[in-house]
Amino acid sequence: MAGNKSYHRHSRNVSIKETIGCILHIAYREVGIMRKNPIYAFCTIFFPMVVILFFTSLMNEGQPVEMPVGVVDQDNTATSRQLIRQLDAFQTTHVVAHYPNMNEAREAIQRNQIYAFLLIPKGTTTGLMSDKQPKISFYYSSVSLVSGSLLYRDLKTISTLGSAGVGMTKLSAIGKTENEIRTFLQPIAVDLHMINNPWVNYNVYLSTTMVPGVLMIFIFLLTPYSIGTELKFRRSRQWIKMAGGNPYIALIGKLLPQTVLFLTMMYGFEFYVYYHLGFPHPGGIVPILLLGLLSVLACQGFGAFAFGLMPSLRMSMSTCSLWSVVSLSVCGATYPLFAMDSAIQSIAQMFPLRHYYMIYQMSIFNGFPLVDSWFNIMALCVFIILPIFTVWNIKRAMLIYTYIP
């Protein structure tokens, strides 16, 4: 109590040392609160770890392999069977069943037993022999986009190979060399360079945005929660008093322990994926560290701002929860932002995860200089200073308001 009084007396003319002492004092108090309420430990340590392990282990394969595919082989010849064997040999495809007709194969898709099937009608081989241009077909379901597009690629390749096989046999029969045959079948070849993710690894592609997105949900929610529970448990006046009536000191002191915990989690995640799992990061360590710090602070800034705007625990937490969940969609990591409506393209700038994703893909994943993502870095800085606009309201609420359930 004596300490509190002395802070109060010098509040107009405090030295830096006293300010720091004050902040640490509040931070120490906060640690005590966090130890008493188990929800803090769950939301800062346990759940984030579960989420990190969930995403990285879920997509551990990198690209889905051996997905179930069916075959309707009405031709039943050596040629058709060879085609099926070749299809089965692909990494992504696994031929799991043969169906007598097209309807049964369709029903198998509806029952979720296969994702796609190849139909080889009767007379395909005889048609090939007699130059009648027979037709095979493949059916793929894009209800799950990943399996749809990967199986489409395999099935299309196998169908094109069918044609190429015939051409090859003919050309070698008239004495063409292998090189000539290749040139004839494919005069223009596509030389594909998949920069920085040549394996098309979905873990690299999705985990790097989804996991920080979920971590941000925790930061978004826990910030107004910890401020609001001061009101709820009637400790708010004591809190402001400890800061000598200065709401900035009160806020910084209160959020400091959470910042440390969340930053540890964020850096822990980044080091785990970049250095243990070896995700590509040509940008190096500087943008990784900078991005982790900026994004944690930006989310805390937003949370504190939201509470200042609506100094009720329920409203600010509801807003933050809706905001943080939508950010996973509008950040544009899965469905690109430029393909959304123009209004959403502007709205998306109000979500920290959008800027996280942009800085990540430009400066860490692609290794371009940080200057190229200056706009997004500035935007995250704006989020950090947002509480300035509503901090007076937080103080007012803490001194005047009472908790309304």
Which positions from 309 through 348 interact with other proteins, judged by CB under 8 A? Answer: 313-314, 317-318, 321-322, 324-326, 328-330, 332-336, 339-341, 344
Q: In 3D, which of 386, 403, 22, 53 has the Cα closest to residue 223?
A: 386
Determine if 55 is a binding residue for other proteins (CB under 8 A): yes
Binders in 361-380 for other proteins, by CB under 8 A: 361-362, 365-366, 368-369, 372
Question: Residues 39, 42, 48, 51: is their CA dihedral positive or negative?
Answer: negative
Q: Does 11 bind other proteins (CB under 8 A)?
A: no
Least separation in angstroms between CB 384 and other proteins? 22
* Candidates 23-31, 109-117, 246-254, 297-305; binding stretch for other proteins (CB under 8 A): 109-117
- Report the C-alpha gap between 265 and 244 in whole angstroms: 32
Which residues lie closer than 8 Å to 330 by C-beta, 6 or more apart? 337, 340, 344, 347, 348, 351, 354
Q: Residue 81 interacts with other proteins (CB under 8 A)? A: no
Query: Which is nearer to other proteins, 246 or 376 (by Cβ)?
Result: 376
Query: x-or-dash pattern for other proteins, window 212-241, by CB under 8 A?
Result: -xx--xx--xx--x--xx--x---------
Q: Could you tell me the CA-to-CA distances from 68 to 64, 112, 144 in Å, in that order?
A: 11, 9, 13
State in angstroms the smallest separation of the CB of 344 from other proteins.
Answer: 6
Q: How many residues bind other proteins (CB under 8 A)?
A: 116
Tell how far CA 287 is from the center of its chain.
18
Tokens matching residue 246: 């200065």
Judged by CB under 8 A, does residue 184 bind other proteins?
A: yes
Q: Phi/psi at 95 (nearest 5 deg)?
A: -75, 110
Q: At 116, list the tokens.
A: 């796609």
Interface of this chain with other proteins, residues 128 to 167, rule: CB under 8 A: 128, 131, 133-149, 152, 155-156, 159-160, 162-163, 165-167
What are the φ/ψ torsions at residue 29 (nearest 5 degrees)?
-60, -40
Q: Within 13 Å and on the Cβ side, how many CA atoms surround 252?
A: 14
Task: Provide the edge-to-edge strand list for the sheet that holds 93-98.
Answer: 93-98, 67-73, 116-120
Figure out which of the listed residues 2, 173, 174, 188 binds other proteins, where binding follows CB under 8 A: 188
Q: Which stretch binds other proteins (CB under 8 A): 20-28, 191-199, 249-257, 297-305?
A: 191-199
Show Cβ contacts of residue 65 under 8 Å, excluding neighbours closer than 6 positions: 91, 92
For position 385 contacting other proteins by CB under 8 A, the verdict is no
Instruction: Find the shortest distance in angstroms from Cβ 138 to other proteins.
Output: 6
Report helix, strand or coil for 100. Answer: coil
Q: 10 vs 156, which CB is nearer to other proteins?
A: 156
CA 308 – CA 224 distance, rounded (Å): 9
| Window 258 to 287, contacts with other proteins (CB under 8 A) | none
From the list 11-19, 183-191, 253-261, 262-270, the region that binds other proteins by CB under 8 A is 183-191
Among 13, 15, 110, 402, binds other proteins (CB under 8 A): 110
56 or 246: CB nearest other proteins: 56
Query: With CB under 8 A as the contact rule, which of the stretches 2-10, 57-65, 239-247, 298-306 interacts with other proteins?
Result: 57-65
* The Cα angle at residue 248 between residues 290 and 44, in degrees rounded to 5: 50
Q: Which stretch binds other proteins (CB under 8 A): 23-31, 65-73, 287-295, 393-401?
A: 65-73
Under the binding rule (CB under 8 A), the answer on residue 57 touching other proteins is yes
Nearest approach in angstroms of CB 322 to other proteins is 7
CB of 295 to other proteins, least distance (A): 16
Check residue 73 and give left, alpha or beta (phi > 0: left; psi -120 to 50: alpha). beta
What's the rounded Cα separation, in Å, for the pair 158 and 84? Answer: 9
**Binding window for other proteins (CB under 8 A); candidates: 8-16, 178-186, 281-289, 379-387:** 178-186
